[in-house]
Structure formats: C-alpha cells, structure tokens
C-alpha cells in the first residue's frame, strides 16, 4: 500500500495523484460515497445560491462537477485546480466552463474579486488548510462568503465506528477492483481520518479571518458544509 496519509502534503505529489485518477474520479467518488455525492452538491449549491451577476471561485474544482450547477444558474464561475489531468478531463466534459490551473495557497487573482469562494472535497488535500482559507479570504469581496464542502466526522458514535471501519476496510478492496490507481483512494481515506472534526475546521476558518462560521451536517456528519463570512470592513 502507498504511504500513510498526513496533513503535510506536497502539492506536486497531490497533483500527480489526481492526474492518475482524473478520468474516473467522479465515478469512483459516487461509488465510494454510496452515490450521495450528487445530493451533497445540490445542498451546497442551494447554500451558495448562485445567480446571474455573481462571481464565484470554485477552488480544487477538479473536472467541474461542483462548478457546473453554479454556472447553469447564471453565475460567472472560475474553476481552479492544481492538477493538469483534472483540468484536461474537465475541459472535455464541460467545454463552456472557465478552467484555470493554480495553487489554492497562492491564488492567481487580486484582492476582493469574488462574491463567493467555495471548495468541495479539496481542502484536506492542501498542504495547509489555514493558508488556503486565508488566501481565499483575500480574493473574496468584503461581505462575501466561503463555502467549504468536506468529509467530516459522523456525529453518532456507533455510526462513526461503522463508517470508519467501512472507509478503511471496504474502500481499499473496492478501489483495487475499480481504479487503476487504488493507492490514491486509500490515501484519501486516510486523509479523512486525519481531518479535524466540524468544530475543529470552524476554528481553522476563524483563524484565517472568516467570521460567523457555522456548518450543516449531511448524512449523519459524513460530510459537513461550513460557511464563513468576510466582514464588510476588515480594518481593526
């Protein structure tokens, strides 16, 4: 099996890992999430509430699955990802979307450019969640929002035990049968275990400058959507 996951990930290694699974990434994600991914994205879209005239930055957008419904609602969406393989697959699948290659920790945009920044299932794969959230804070307009969709910790203790056993037990077997790069999914499963719980992530967001941070649990806390707000005035 590949190396054990931790929260200190080298960007080049992460990009190479996603390059290797890009073509089947969305299919494998649906399989491993028991086909709940689309439902989770619908909730995230409703929270973002995209509309015409809204400028949205979708960080770690991958193939554009999270960007698609935002653009369909009329918003001006920029889909950013570090992996060239993901971008290539995204451009083929969603040729009308704007894809840009970039690092979540060093976003290629000026200050106060976007109404909303969002990241779905990508924050835990950055080398520093706080740095990524802080740079997102920089490019979002005062009064704008940050919406983070990420795997979290089931809130029920018994279900949490069952889920973690499934994740670490069944996932490697499923991945080996369905993916050409099973180590990538084993790595992702381990990264979920190492990720902070709902309160912990809220504290990281607050330390990056976001205020009034709250979250909504989905599927008993398998996933949590965190929402933070950039204050109208950022002056002390």
CATH code (residue 159):
3.40.50.150
Region 214-235 average pLDDT: 90
Asked if residue 138 is part of any domain, the answer here is yes
**Residue 6 reports pLDDT greater than 50:** no
Supply the pLDDT for residue 13: 64
Q: d(Cα 58, Cα 120) in Å, to the nearest integer? A: 8
Identify whether the C-beta of residue 132 lies closer than 8 Å to the C-beta of residue 123: yes
Between 176 and 61, residue with greater pLDDT: 61
Asked if residue 120 is part of any domain, the answer here is yes
**Residue 99 reports pLDDT greater than 90:** yes
**Residue 35 reports pLDDT greater than 90:** no
Supply the pLDDT for residue 236: 44
Domain count, the chain: 1
Strand intervals (E) in the chain: 55-59, 76-81, 98-101, 114-120, 140-151, 211-218, 223-229
Grade residue 5 by pLDDT with cuts at 50, 70 and 90. Answer: very low
* Average pLDDT of the residues of the chain: 86
Between 36 and 80, residue with greater pLDDT: 80
Supply the pLDDT for residue 171: 72
Asked if residue 174 is part of any domain, the answer here is yes
Between 98 and 125, residue with greater pLDDT: 98
Identify whether the C-beta of residue 59 lies closer than 8 Å to the C-beta of residue 122: yes
Supply the pLDDT for residue 2: 41
Asked if residue 236 is part of any domain, the answer here is no
Between 16 and 103, residue with greater pLDDT: 103
Asked if residue 2 is part of any domain, the answer here is no
Helix, strand, or coil (residue 111): coil
Asked if residue 179 is part of any domain, the answer here is yes
Grade residue 173 by pLDDT with cuts at 50, 70 and 90. Answer: confident
Q: d(Cα 181, Cα 191) in Å, to the nearest integer? A: 16
With a CB cutoff of 8 Å and minimum separation 6, the contacts of 63 are: 22, 25, 26, 86, 89, 90, 93, 94
**Residue 146 reports pLDDT greater than 50:** yes
**Residue 122 reports pLDDT greater than 70:** yes
Q: d(Cα 95, Cα 8) in Å, to the nearest integer? A: 33
Q: d(Cα 163, Cα 153) in Å, to the nearest integer? A: 9
Domain containing residue 43 = 11-229
Supply the pLDDT for residue 1: 38
Q: Which two tokens stand for residue 95?
A: 């040729």
Between 176 and 137, residue with greater pLDDT: 137
Asked if residue 6 is part of any domain, the answer here is no
Highest mean pLDDT among 7-11, 111-115, 188-192: 111-115
DSSP of 168-221, one letter per residue? HHHHHHHHHHH-S-HHHHHHHHHHHHHS--HHHHHHHHHHTT-EEEEEEEEGGG
Asked if residue 192 is part of any domain, the answer here is yes
Grade residue 187 by pLDDT with cuts at 50, 70 and 90. Answer: confident
Identify whether the C-beta of residue 37 lies closer than 8 Å to the C-beta of residue 29: yes
Q: d(Cα 111, Cα 120) in Å, to the nearest integer? A: 22
């Amino acid at each position: 099996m590949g190396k054990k996951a931790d929260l200190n990930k080298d960007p080049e290694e992460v990009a190479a890992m996603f390059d290797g699974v890009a073509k089947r990434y969305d299919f494998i994600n649906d399989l491993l999430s028991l086909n709940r991914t689309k439902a989770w994205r619908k909730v995230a879209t409703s929270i973002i509430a995209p509309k015409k005239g809204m400028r949205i930055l979708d960080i770690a957008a991958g193939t554009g699955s999270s960007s698609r419904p935002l653009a369909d609602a009329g918003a001006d969406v920029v889909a950013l990802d570090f992996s060239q393989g993901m971008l290539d697959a995204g451009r083929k699948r969603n040729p009308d979307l704007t894809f840009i290659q970039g690092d979540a920790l060093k976003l290629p945009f000026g200050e106060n450019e976007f109404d909303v920044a969002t990241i779905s299932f990508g924050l835990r794969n950055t080398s520093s969640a706080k740095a990524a959230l802080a740079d997102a804070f920089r490019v979002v307009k005062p009064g704008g929002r940050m919406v983070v969709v990420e795997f979290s910790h089931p809130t029920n203790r018994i279900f949490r035990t069952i889920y973690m056993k499934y994740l670490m037990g069944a996932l490697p077997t499923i991945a080996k049968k369905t993916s050409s790069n099973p180590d990538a999914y084993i790595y992702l499963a381990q990264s979920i275990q190492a990720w902070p719980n709902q309160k912990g992530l809220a504290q990281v967001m607050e330390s990056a400058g976001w205020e009034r941070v709250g979250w909504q649990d989905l599927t008993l806390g398998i996933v949590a959507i965190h929402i933070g707000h950039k204050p109208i005035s950022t002056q002390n």
